[in-house]
Amino acid sequence: MTPLRTGLALAITVGLFYALCALVWVLAPGPFLGFMNSLFHGMDFSTMVQPRPFAWQEFLMALLVLSTWAFFAGAFFAWLSNRLTR
Protein backbone atom coordinates (compact mmCIF):
# COMPACT_ATOMS: atom_id res chain seq x y z
CA MET A 1 0.00 0.00 0.00
CA THR A 2 1.18 3.50 -0.76
CA PRO A 3 0.58 5.71 2.29
CA LEU A 4 -0.26 8.82 0.26
CA ARG A 5 -2.74 7.00 -2.00
CA THR A 6 -4.37 5.23 0.93
CA GLY A 7 -4.63 8.48 2.87
CA LEU A 8 -6.11 10.29 -0.10
CA ALA A 9 -8.61 7.51 -0.76
CA LEU A 10 -9.79 7.57 2.85
CA ALA A 11 -9.94 11.38 2.92
CA ILE A 12 -12.10 11.46 -0.22
CA THR A 13 -14.35 8.69 1.09
CA VAL A 14 -14.89 10.40 4.44
CA GLY A 15 -15.48 13.75 2.74
CA LEU A 16 -18.09 12.31 0.38
CA PHE A 17 -19.91 10.47 3.14
CA TYR A 18 -19.90 13.58 5.36
CA ALA A 19 -21.34 15.67 2.50
CA LEU A 20 -24.01 13.02 1.86
CA CYS A 21 -24.88 12.96 5.56
CA ALA A 22 -25.22 16.76 5.62
CA LEU A 23 -27.38 16.69 2.48
CA VAL A 24 -29.76 14.14 4.00
CA TRP A 25 -29.97 16.28 7.17
CA VAL A 26 -30.87 19.38 5.11
CA LEU A 27 -33.46 17.54 3.00
CA ALA A 28 -35.14 15.49 5.74
CA PRO A 29 -34.16 16.56 9.26
CA GLY A 30 -37.04 14.79 11.03
CA PRO A 31 -36.55 11.31 9.58
CA PHE A 32 -32.77 11.71 9.81
CA LEU A 33 -33.03 12.58 13.50
CA GLY A 34 -35.20 9.50 14.04
CA PHE A 35 -32.61 7.38 12.24
CA MET A 36 -29.79 8.79 14.37
CA ASN A 37 -31.77 8.15 17.55
CA SER A 38 -32.24 4.51 16.48
CA LEU A 39 -28.64 4.16 15.37
CA PHE A 40 -27.41 5.15 18.83
CA HIS A 41 -29.71 2.72 20.67
CA GLY A 42 -32.52 5.11 21.47
CA MET A 43 -30.50 8.11 22.63
CA ASP A 44 -32.57 11.25 22.12
CA PHE A 45 -30.70 13.86 20.10
CA SER A 46 -33.76 16.09 19.63
CA THR A 47 -32.80 18.29 22.60
CA MET A 48 -29.54 19.18 20.83
CA VAL A 49 -31.27 20.43 17.68
CA GLN A 50 -31.70 24.18 17.43
CA PRO A 51 -33.58 25.62 14.45
CA ARG A 52 -31.17 27.69 12.36
CA PRO A 53 -30.23 28.09 8.72
CA PHE A 54 -27.63 25.87 7.09
CA ALA A 55 -24.16 27.35 7.63
CA TRP A 56 -21.81 26.75 4.71
CA GLN A 57 -18.79 27.93 6.69
CA GLU A 58 -19.39 25.35 9.44
CA PHE A 59 -20.00 22.62 6.86
CA LEU A 60 -16.77 23.39 5.01
CA MET A 61 -14.74 23.60 8.23
CA ALA A 62 -16.03 20.21 9.40
CA LEU A 63 -15.40 18.75 5.93
CA LEU A 64 -11.82 20.03 6.00
CA VAL A 65 -11.14 18.74 9.52
CA LEU A 66 -12.64 15.29 8.88
CA SER A 67 -10.89 14.89 5.53
CA THR A 68 -7.54 15.96 6.96
CA TRP A 69 -7.89 13.56 9.89
CA ALA A 70 -8.89 10.76 7.51
CA PHE A 71 -5.90 11.47 5.26
CA PHE A 72 -3.45 11.15 8.14
CA ALA A 73 -5.22 8.10 9.55
CA GLY A 74 -5.17 6.39 6.14
CA ALA A 75 -1.53 7.27 5.51
CA PHE A 76 -0.54 5.99 8.95
CA PHE A 77 -2.56 2.81 8.45
CA ALA A 78 -0.80 2.07 5.14
CA TRP A 79 2.62 2.87 6.61
CA LEU A 80 1.99 0.66 9.64
CA SER A 81 0.54 -2.14 7.52
CA ASN A 82 3.62 -2.06 5.28
CA ARG A 83 5.92 -2.24 8.32
CA LEU A 84 4.03 -5.14 9.89
CA THR A 85 3.93 -7.25 6.71
CA ARG A 86 7.68 -7.13 6.05
CA dist 8 to 21, 38, 53, 78, Å?
20, 31, 31, 11
Summarize pLDDT for 66-75 with one digit per residue, the tens.
Answer: 999 999 999 9
| Helix and strand totals (H; E) in the chain | 3, 0
Mean pLDDT of 61-85: 98
- What does the alpha-carbon distance between residue 17 and residue 50 come to, in Å, rounded to a whole number? 23
| Contact of 11 with 68, CB cutoff 8 Å | yes
- pTM for this structure? 0.84
Per the prediction, the chain carries an average pLDDT of 93
Residue 45's pLDDT is what?
Answer: 85
* Mean per-residue pLDDT, 12-36: 93
The mean per-residue pLDDT over the stretch 21-35 comes to 91
pLDDT at 15: 98
Given a cut of 90, is residue 23 above it in pLDDT?
yes
pLDDT score of 81: 97
